[in-house]
Structure 1
Amino acid sequence: MTTATPVIFIHGLFLHATSWGPWVELFREAGYEPTAPGWPGVPDSVSAAREHPEEIADHGIDDVVEHYAKLIAELGGAKPILVGHSFGGMIAQKLLGQDLAAAAVAIDAAQIKGVLPLPLSTLRVGLPVLRNPANKHKSVSLTADQFRYAFGNAVSESESLELFERWAIPAPGKPLFEAAAANFDPHSPAKVDTANELRGPLLLIMGGRDHTVPESITRSTLKQYRHSHAVTDIQEFADRAHSLTIDSGWREVADATLAWLRQQGL
């Protein structure tokens, strides 16, 4: 009996784990065993997450990594494929660097330690959280206009609003503060073992119109892996922004992910 390869989808800030639903269904049809567990403290539904933002607050990068590492341990030795978006892409890279995954796909991944570009659009996206130091220990919600700039700038205004109303939830401020200070902290939780020669393959996906994680960040991330001969690939969707995993064009990104996994023998 052949056991299906597990796939764990990892969401980022401001989106609920259930936003991965179409991906989970597609990957299951493709023969994988996919799950999309939420971050620590994130309730099971969008409505519950909005009603109880205090449960989401004060969880940092290390908390999230530990949370998913425990879920991986429960697989009984099977290394999963990790697919992460935004901060979920950073988490996926950290877990891959720790040899806890067979492969990882990091989609518009938040900047890891060592990545120096900090575009103005990225600063603007982070401002609702970073402008108040007290937000480090709170959860913060985006307005529909802020979501439009951060996620939905490459889709219509009506689609952006629909995505916001369907999937947007409060997010802990702590990871953003940790990422902002990463290059000044020798023990930053945003540090990834990019020199690991024995890790599984990694695919970095970037959206060419992304305000939150512009392509300069993803290309700089790729350079951080230059000291490892492990497979590290990059793919660009030039006309896409940060909503590329949840908007009407999600299937193109998902199909590209599946095609790359097949190329890796996974």
Structure 2
Amino acid sequence: MNPTAGRPVVFIHGLWLHPTSWNPWVELFRERGYAPVAPGWPGVAASVEQSRSDPDSIADQGIDDVVAHYARIIDGLTEPPVLVGHSFGGMIAEKLLGQDRAAAAVAIDAAQIKGVLPVPLSSLRATLPVFRNPANRHRAVSLTPEQFRFAFGNAVSAEESAGLHARWTIPAPGKPLFEAAAANFSPHSPAGVDTGNAGRGPLLLVMGGRDHTVPEAITKATLKQYRGSGAVTDLIEFADRGHSLTIDSGWRAVADAALSWLAEQGL
């Protein structure tokens, strides 16, 4: 990385979205003086089309695999980055921040970490395409436009949801969902996060009030998991937004809120 560039920012996508869905964020953060990158999970191809044509390349990738993948990317940077993650990418960002690998993290509608107990019905329905078949733990699963509409696009128009599905969705490994579902029954779950780390960088949790996949009950319960740490842990709510808030027509408001918070932290 160019040593004269700004602070590095690593964007981490979640399940079912290709890393290029971060492109508008990458451009905005670069304009603001950061040095952003948006690498895919291990096995994710360079384009949406390639990812759809070879779902086996990402199958059976678990949480620890993804964390190790991004840790290697971080090790190649000139300084600890800011992490911006969505959904399971938000969980990955929280784990890496807890491991002191980042200067700060923004976790947007982050997936459930170990210790979070609420399991709202809408979350169960959103993930049913994976859980309906136990064999999906070792497979990659795609969402139909209708399934995407419920899980991601419920707070935008049907037309916008269909367009987002057509543009950005890719198959996703089922393994992380199975790991997260069993987290509270496993003493060494990969979904565990060091929420008590008082020396870590600041964390911003972003919550979509209409999110079906990660309802506000999960994000509020996540915030409580950090009550034992003296490090900065903030919460911002977008009451009228769903799980598509990073990619739909309202993405800029979320990005601007993240940028303003980073400025407040001196980052």
> When the two structures are superposed, what TM-score results if normalisation uses the length of structure 2?
0.98
Give the match for residue 144 of structure 1: 145
SS in 2 for 1:176: helix
Distance 2:76 2:31 in 1: 23
One of 23, 26, 39 as aligned partner of 2:41:
39
Give the match for residue 158 of structure 1: 159
Give the match for residue 109 of structure 2: 108
How many correspondences in the alignment?
A: 265
Distance 1:243 1:73 in 2: 30
**Deviations 1:145-185 (CA, angstroms, capped at 9, x unpaired):** 00000000000000000000000000000000000000000
Give the C-alpha shift of residue 31 in structure 1. 0.2
Give the C-alpha shift of residue 2 in structure 1. 4.8
Q: Which runs of 5+ in 1 are unaligned?
A: none
Give the C-alpha shift of residue 261 in structure 1. 0.1
Give the match for residue 74 of structure 1: 76
Moved beyond 6 Å, runs of 4+: none
Output the amino acid matched with 1:103: A
Give the match for residue 23 of structure 1: 25
Output the amino acid matched with 2:173: P
Distance 2:229 2:44 in 1: 35
Give the match for residue 182 of structure 1: 183
**Deviations 1:189-239 (CA, angstroms, capped at 9, x unpaired):** 000000001000000000000000000000000000000000000000000
Distance 1:147 1:102 in 2: 33
Give the match for residue 234 of structure 2: 233
The two structures, once aligned, show a CA RMSD in angstroms of 0.7
Output the amino acid matched with 1:142: L
Alignment of 1:198-237 (within 5 A): 198-237=199-238
> When the two structures are superposed, what TM-score results if normalisation uses the length of structure 1?
0.99
Distance 2:248 2:127 in 1: 21
Output the amino acid matched with 1:11: H
Q: Which runs of 5+ in 2 are unaligned?
A: none
Output the amino acid matched with 1:93: E
SS in 2 for 1:111: coil
Give the C-alpha shift of residue 3 in structure 1. 4.0
**Deviations 1:31-67 (CA, angstroms, capped at 9, x unpaired):** 0000000000000100000000000100000000000
One of 4, 11, 22 as aligned partner of 2:13:
11
Output the amino acid matched with 2:94: Q
SS in 1 for 2:9: strand
Output the amino acid matched with 1:178: E
Give the C-alpha shift of residue 85 in structure 1. 0.1
Distance 2:4 2:154 in 1: 43
Output the amino acid matched with 2:220: R
**Deviations 1:110-160 (CA, angstroms, capped at 9, x unpaired):** 000000000000000111101111000000000000000000000000000
Distance 1:174 1:222 in 2: 25
SS in 2 for 1:7: strand
Say yes or no: does 1:59 pair with 2:96: no
